[in-house]
Amino acid sequence: MARFKDLALDTTDQAVSVDFWAAVLGLDADPRDPGEPQPLRGAEPGQTVWVNVVPEPPLTKARVHLDVHAASVEEVLSLGAEVVQRHEHWTWLRAPDGLDLCVFVRDTVPAHRLYEVVVDCRDPGAQARWWADRLGLVAEPDPSNPWWGMSGEQLPFDCFVFVPVPEPRTVKNRVHWDVWGTVEEFTDAGATVVAPRDADRDWDVLADPEGNEFCVFAQD
């Protein structure tokens, strides 16, 4: 059975992304040489977020985004984000690096502020069940909305949320998750290998049945 490892996000401006996401998520930057993947760390290993540099800017609406706890929308705007759309229970923002996030205002904000990881899907039920089977989690439909949730004690946040969208995936996701596991357990279930590990990279890049990239690390 595979296990959730951590999150990674792509950016063209690493310094901006490190400062913004460390503040928004309540994480501490662990500086590396510029251009190398930069980890943002929480109290637990699974709370790590890696900030990776890529050459291409965001081209479309994010198919994977983060929901966060915050004391107010204004505090996130003060860090450089912009409002995209306001909803009754959350506000959709765009970060200064072009990534999307949704802010949920709380009376009490936890130290680790990541609330949910949200994935756009053509078939949210199938995606939620597929990932739940791989990670030993529980997938359930929302009784009042057309999306599915996947949760369990091994996750360092409340839930994965899979939501339906009409458009197909067209470009590489700028936010992905890493897992501990084996390539075979994923490919046997229908995943495909995008880039196998090599002498310079000790992980394999795979894609799930809807094409979402994720990285597989050997079980520790």
3-state SS, residue 110? coil
From first to last of the 220 residues of the chain, give the pLDDT tens digit: 999 999 999 999 999 999 999 999 999 999 999 889 999 999 998 999 999 999 998 888 889 999 999 999 999 999 999 999 999 999 999 999 999 999 999 999 999 999 999 999 999 999 999 999 999 999 999 999 999 999 999 999 999 999 999 988 888 899 999 999 999 999 999 999 999 998 888 999 999 999 999 999 997 6
Annotated domain spans of the chain: 3-218
What pLDDT, in 10s, does the model give residues 159-200?
Answer: 999 999 998 888 889 999 999 999 999 999 999 999 999 888
Rounded CA separation 89/170 (Å):
29
Rounded CA separation 105/183 (Å):
39
Both tokens of 137, joined, read 């989690």
Q: Are 27 and 40 in contact (CB under 8 A)?
A: yes
> Which superfamily does 3-218 belong to?
2,3-Dihydroxybiphenyl 1,2-Dioxygenase, domain 1 (3.10.180.10)
Rounded CA separation 41/21 (Å):
11
What's the confidence (pLDDT) of residue 220? 62
3-state SS, residue 215? strand
- Counts for the chain of helices (H) and strands (E), in that order: 4, 16
Rounded CA separation 195/189 (Å):
18
What pLDDT, in 10s, does the model give residues 132-141?
Answer: 999 999 999 9
On whether the pTM is more than 0.85, the answer is yes
Question: Could you give the angle at the alpha carbon of 89 between the alpha carbons of 86 and 94, nearest 5°?
Answer: 40
Closest by Cα among 82, 119, 122, 121 to 103: 82
